[in-house]
Structure 1
Amino acid sequence: MQRLSRWITLLLLVTMLIACGGQQTTAPTDVPQTPTSAPTAVPTAAPTVEPTAAPTVAVLEAPTTNLIDECVTDYDPEIDYFPEKVTLSDSVGWTIEYFNNYKMITVLNPWRNADVQFRYVLVQCGTPPPADTGDALVIEVPVNSIVAMSTTQLPHLSELGLLDKLVGVDSFQYINNPDVRKKIEAGELIEIGSGAQVNVEQALDLKPDLIMTYGVGNPEYDAHPKLLEANLKVVLNGEYMETSPLGCAEWIKFTAAFFNREAQATEVYNTISGRYKEMAERARNVANRPTVFANIPFQGTWFMPGGRSYVAQLLADAGADYLWADDTSTGSQPLSFEEVFERARNADFWLNPGSMKSLTEIREADERFTEFAAFQNGNVFNNNKRLNENGGNDYWETGVTNPHLVLADLIKILHPELLPDHELYFYQKLAP
């Protein structure tokens, strides 16, 4: 009887532990099996006591990967629903924090001289949002449909295998991605416009889980105020404010977070970063660094990339002596023709001269351009090799997420011996 009593006591204790939230599913190993015969100390006339079987308890197991196609059905606040996380190594324009069932993203610098930041709480669907979200926009993840309002966001969706989630864009005109073009031709995408003229009704009809756009801080050009006013889930992507090529590219992790695709984004980014750094290492120690200047006047002003801009970083990594590398600005500085000519007249290379497709076009734009040594030597290269029929430039689409391809082009131009087998992808040498 003592042995049986001890067994029943242990069984009750196990049941109580489970009821209090324990995760144990089986009785302790020292609990004896049900006796096959009555104990010898019990009188034969006494009734046999049959112990009750231990109850079956469902265990809530923590996922080993992020949930990309489903919601939580049995929520446990102690479980980490985002075992696959991203960390940022090059991007400085946003942050991400992880909690058990939600993520907090903060866009730190949405546009130049912005005095506002944007916060987003990404809640795993099937779980409750945090009690206090302040001014943050709450979005359930993973999202299942998205409107992308910048062509720079399309490579994110393509690289992550998410183009099937794309339901709308701002405009068809400048898109180069062949898979997105196929969706356009098949009537699978809708244009919602851009800026203050965005078609809010069209966006509402689409009912997207997410609209990803950008801001410039001017109500005439920003779409997000109207879209937010209509209670649509709108987030601002600030990749263009980054000052390094890899910083821009790392925003693929930003997009991935809304789809719980952190693992894929990390893999893609590590590949891009590794290739970029390997090529930069080759060019870093070159003995000869050719002098370079960039761009062309717009409405009488020559906007030269600042010495701390992503263009300057690209040129430095390609082994160039950028003539405005001593400048401390991260944007573009407005200069006159005379200021540029004084410093760059004998430069070895001229890059990115606007929309120009030939030396003849440059000469016709302003005869003074022919006085630059780079023009005279035929060392003028433009990043407009990949244009669609409407003038959409793939350099500003694919190139932002794939700076290693841009860097390879620049190294090929400046130091062809370092990449003898590379064929220019975005750049072309301008013919007479």
Structure 2
Amino acid sequence: MNMLRFNGFKCLLVLSILCYLTHPVLSDCRDATFDVNFDYFPDKVYFDNDIGTSNSGFNVTYHNNYVILTNKYTSETYVLYCTATQPAVTAATNYIQVPVTNVVVSDRSFISFLEILGEEKTSLKYVDDKKTITSPCLQKYNYLSDNFNYANTSLVSSVDVIFTNKPSNTGGKYVTISYDEDTPALQKAEWIKYMSLFFNKTAIANEAFDKIRSNYFCHLDNLSKVPNETKKSIAWVSLESDKTFTIKSSSFYPNVTSDAAAFLLNPQITTDLSVDDLKQYISGAYIVIDMSDLVAQYSTLDAWKNLFGYNQTSDLPRFLKEKLLFRTHKLLNSNGNDDWSESSASRPDLILQDLIAIQYPSYQKDYVVNWFNKFAETGDEVVISADKCNDATFGLPKTDFGTCVPTKFFGDGRNNSGIQIMDVGRNEGNDKHNKDGDSINNDKKENKVKPGVIIAVSLVGSLLLLGLGALLLAVSRRKYRERFVKLRDEPVVQMDSVKEVKEVKV
């Protein structure tokens, strides 16, 4: 009986070790045989119902070995699965095995999302045009291919997924990311969760978005006490290809402008404006932000004045006199391509801080504006080059998004005309903001758990488990031997005792 008990213990120990070593894990789930009892997606995308994040543009439905992902704007549905065997889902046509490792992006604004996830080094293979990239590390290593031939079916079949901003009739590997000027700032950033599902990195996406969102609302709350009488008006304008003008009013602009404690200049007619109409509408704006896509020859202040009808210096509005005309071209690469188009979608917290800074420089005295350059001043641009690459964080998930300290800020007491109309007292805590990571220009020192450490910890854990099993095995064998020896020797001792007693009686 004891021998059987011991053999049973050994079998259980061996089976436990084998289960530990062979149980499917996320790192190798692409080759795993489907286990109905194993959840291949333990980290779930979650959503908050606060203002600005309640209308996510996609739905996620989880099953043990696959995820159903739906873009609500395009009605595209994808089945993401993480096993060697493709699941059978009713009415599904688009299947993508995850995690993907060979990715194409047709819109460079997606690059910053991949950088946050830490996939820009290993998974990103093709971009639309390498010359437009502002990411310092992607400039430095220059391993990407561009001019992807979407008509080449063999080339398309060789990649895992193609992230695009326009729906494709062919479906399959084309995945649409649906944000534009009608998408509020935080809702744009939330698409990182959508993209993370293709890399099994939802935990990283959740954490990153939570930090960005938390900072955003912190700054919004800090300026919530600015009196309406001292709020400034901001006009976002654009010169269109047909030579008409637009005053931007799509959802993104009133959303982020209001959150920055300002009023959006939004007349009844905002499109197809003549130059005279535009000048009339924006004459009273405190700040004007030009979003025009200007070619190099028209990207000087004098050329801009001529295009926008301000070539007569005697009739300049206040925003030009006080150098409060901005463009989103502060960060540029050596080819003149702006970083706003590449990075702003993923960082609404920095957009908000930039807007606050150009109105109230005293709010964060040491804050460095990322994207809004003073167009009325020369030399306000910063060229992003390959030597700005932080090799230590290249290809790793980004975790440093800065911090925001809750404080009370009441503005500057000046009205939209710049006249001091009230005493707001002493604003608190201005120097506590702009911690490391608040600005793209800051050197970021990120505390990362290195892959070598993770591997070492895993090996130590495995060795400890095996050692524990060996120890239990040794203890069990010793107890068995002691029991066997005791049972074997005990009768001999008893017989010797009987013999001695008999001899005494004789």
What is the TM-score normalised by the length of structure 2?
0.64
Aligned pair in 2 of structure 1 residues 342, 70: CA closer, same or farther (>3 Å)? Answer: same
Aligned pair in 2 of structure 1 residues 68, 398: CA closer, same or farther (>3 Å)? Answer: farther
Aligned pair in 2 of structure 1 residues 66, 320: CA closer, same or farther (>3 Å)? Answer: farther
Pairing partner for 1:297 from 236, 239, 250: 239
Question: Structure 2: which amino acid aligns with 1:168?
Answer: Y
Mapped contact 2:275–2:309 kept (Cα < 8 A): no
Aligned pair in 2 of structure 1 residues 128, 276: CA closer, same or farther (>3 Å)? Answer: same
Mapped contact 1:62–1:80 kept (Cα < 8 A): no
Mapped contact 1:149–1:212 kept (Cα < 8 A): yes
Matched with 1:156 is 113
Deviation string for 1:50-103 (max 9, x for gaps)? 799556556867999971454353432122211101113325211111111111
Mapped contact 1:120–1:137 kept (Cα < 8 A): yes
Matched with 1:97 is 61
Pairing partner for 1:388 from 333, 339, 351: 333
CA distance in 2, matches of 1:52, 1:125: 38
Aligned pair in 2 of structure 1 residues 102, 135: CA closer, same or farther (>3 Å)? Answer: closer
Q: Could you say which structure has the larger radius of gyration?
A: 2
Cα deviation, residue 244, structure 1: 1.0
Cα deviation, residue 320, structure 1: 1.0
Mapped contact 1:102–1:121 kept (Cα < 8 A): yes
Mapped contact 1:154–1:397 kept (Cα < 8 A): yes
CA distance in 1, matches of 2:209, 2:339: 19
Deviation string for 1:281-337 (max 9, x for gaps)? 12222121111111133233222222x51122111111111121x87x9xx744343
Q: Is 1:352 aligned with 2:287?
A: no
Pairing partner for 2:124 from 166, 191, 195: 166
Aligned pair in 2 of structure 1 residues 202, 118: CA closer, same or farther (>3 Å)? Answer: closer
CA distance in 2, matches of 1:85, 1:64: 20
Question: What is the correspondence of 1:110-121 to structure 2 with a 5 Å cutoff?
Answer: 110=74, 117-121=75-79
Question: Structure 1: which amino acid aligns with 2:68?
Answer: M
Provide the secondary structure at the position in 1 that maps to 2:37: coil
Q: Is 1:342 aligned with 2:284?
A: no
CA distance in 2, matches of 1:376, 1:389: 30
Mapped contact 1:93–1:241 kept (Cα < 8 A): no
Question: Structure 2: which amino acid aligns with 1:210?
Answer: V
Provide the secondary structure at the position in 2 that maps to 1:83: coil
Pairing partner for 1:138 from 80, 83, 95: 95
Cα deviation, residue 206, structure 1: 7.7
CA distance in 1, matches of 2:7, 2:45: 46
Cα deviation, residue 375, structure 1: 1.9
Matched with 2:151 is 200
CA distance in 1, matches of 2:176, 2:60: 14
Pairing partner for 2:41 from 74, 77, 82: 82
Question: Structure 2: which amino acid aligns with 1:211?
Answer: I
CA distance in 1, matches of 2:125, 2:346: 21
CA distance in 2, matches of 1:87, 1:212: 22
CA distance in 2, matches of 1:63, 1:263: 24
Mapped contact 1:303–1:333 kept (Cα < 8 A): yes
Mapped contact 2:254–2:264 kept (Cα < 8 A): yes
Aligned pair in 2 of structure 1 residues 176, 431: CA closer, same or farther (>3 Å)? Answer: same
Matched with 2:163 is 212
Q: Is 1:272 aligned with 2:212?
A: yes
Matched with 1:3 is none
More divergent stretch after superposition (251-260 vs 90-99):
90-99
Q: Is 1:400 aligned with 2:351?
A: no
Question: Structure 2: which amino acid aligns with 1:189?
Answer: L
Higher relative contact order (CA closer than 8 Å, sequence separation 6+) = 2
Q: Is 1:367 aligned with 2:312?
A: no
CA distance in 2, matches of 1:371, 1:66: 66
Matched with 2:255 is 313
Aligned pair in 2 of structure 1 residues 333, 367: CA closer, same or farther (>3 Å)? Answer: closer
Mapped contact 1:297–1:303 kept (Cα < 8 A): yes
Question: Structure 1: which amino acid aligns with 2:136?
Answer: P
Cα deviation, residue 241, structure 1: 6.2
Question: Structure 2: which amino acid aligns with 1:123?
Answer: Y
Q: Which stretches in structure 2 are left out of the alignment for 5+ residues?
A: 378-506
Q: How many residues align?
A: 356
Aligned pair in 2 of structure 1 residues 334, 86: CA closer, same or farther (>3 Å)? Answer: farther
